[in-house]
Amino acid sequence: MKRSTTNWRARTRHAPTLLLSLLLPSLLLAQDAAPEAAAVADDSLNLWSLIQQGGWAMYPLGTCSLIMFFLIFYSWKETTPKKFFTAEQLSATGNALESGDHDKGRSHLEAGNNLLARALAPALKKIHKGHEKAENLFIENLEAEENGVSQWVTYLNVVASVAPMIGLLGTVSGMISAFQTIGRGGMGRPELLAGDIGEALITTATGLVIGIPAMIAYFILRNRLNSAMIATAQAGTDLIEAADTAPPAAE
């Protein structure tokens, strides 16, 4: 009895060592496989593989993204303050018009080669026909100039609306492909549906990623343009008032 107890204690004492020796190969194998699995996951989640998985819809979405960047850059450049008028231009033109020298005032105005010059210079030539006629011509020219700039900003709104719709169309295409795969017997094999579901989700996400910044940029640039046009209209009206109330130039 004493001997059997001694043997049982000896086996119990060596059990952890035996268990560790059995589990050690499995632990080492799992440790070696972990970096490989991580590398495979990293490779499967890179940008190019996501674009490929998105399918045909990624091509028009890529075009929309390029158009969006161009429109943001161009519209921002066209709505900078110096594109409308400058303080030096207003000062020089105002001083000349207040002294009654309309020709010199137009020269200072046209030297700026900006939106105010293109809209106001033709109106100043009609100032001798009356304040109202000159102001109406200025407003007409100003509206035409505003339309020329605002059309580029409006295109951003088009991109913001079209990109999510293209993404939604890609989603519908991916879901149709998924149902076709299920119809061919892929219900029991979910790996066959991964590509179709990935196409559906990636195109939706890409459309939103393009559409949301385009919409934000549209509102920012539209407000920027409206503020600049209000300031330009006020500056032009002040110059017309100065030209209309100035004494005639001495011969």
- CA–CA dist 119, 139 (Å, integer): 8
Q: Are residues 103 and 188 in the same domain?
A: yes
pLDDT at residue 1 greater than cutoff 80? no
**How many folded domains does the chain comprise?**
2
Residue 200 placed within a domain: yes
**Residue type (1 letter), 145:** E
Residue 17 placed within a domain: yes
Q: Are residues 30 and 59 in the same domain?
A: no
Q: Are residues 27 and 147 in the same domain?
A: no
Mean pLDDT, range 196-220, rounded to an integer:
87
Please answer whether residues 232 and 85 qualify as being in contact, where contact means their C-beta atoms are separated by less than 8 angstroms. yes
Q: Are residues 26 and 59 in the same domain?
A: no
Mean pLDDT, range 13-27, rounded to an integer:
43
Burial class (CB in 10 A: 0-12, 13-18, 19+), 14: exposed
Residue 214 placed within a domain: yes
Q: Are residues 30 and 55 in the same domain?
A: no
Percent of the chain with pLDDT over 90: 31
pLDDT at residue 245 greater than cutoff 60? yes
Q: Are residues 112 and 122 in the same domain?
A: yes
pLDDT at residue 132 greater than cutoff 70? yes
Residue 146 placed within a domain: yes
Q: Are residues 39 and 134 in the same domain?
A: no
**Residue type (1 letter), 210:** I
Q: How confident is the model at residue 193 (pLDDT cuts 50, 70, 90)?
A: low
Under 8 Å CB-to-CB from 163, ≥6 apart: which residues? Answer: 61, 64, 65, 68, 206, 207, 208, 210, 211, 214
Q: Are residues 114 and 233 in the same domain?
A: yes
Q: Are residues 75 and 35 in the same domain?
A: no
Residue 211 placed within a domain: yes
Q: Are residues 81 and 7 in the same domain?
A: no
- CA–CA dist 93, 112 (Å, integer): 10
The parent domain of residue 177 ranges over 47-245
**Within a 13 Å sphere around the CA of 198, how many CA atoms are in the beta-carbon half?**
15
- CA–CA dist 238, 230 (Å, integer): 12
Q: Rounded to two decimals, what is the model's pTM?
A: 0.71
The two tokens of residue 99 are 């002294």
Residue 250 placed within a domain: no
Assign 62 to helix, strand or coil. helix
- CA–CA dist 95, 119 (Å, integer): 19
Please answer whether residues 134 and 244 qualify as being in contact, where contact means their C-beta atoms are separated by less than 8 angstroms. yes
Please answer whether residues 71 and 156 qualify as being in contact, where contact means their C-beta atoms are separated by less than 8 angstroms. yes
Residue 169 placed within a domain: yes
Q: Are residues 116 and 212 in the same domain?
A: yes
pLDDT at residue 208 greater than cutoff 80? yes
**Residue type (1 letter), 216:** I
pLDDT at residue 200 greater than cutoff 60? yes
Q: Are residues 173 and 230 in the same domain?
A: yes
Residue 251 placed within a domain: no
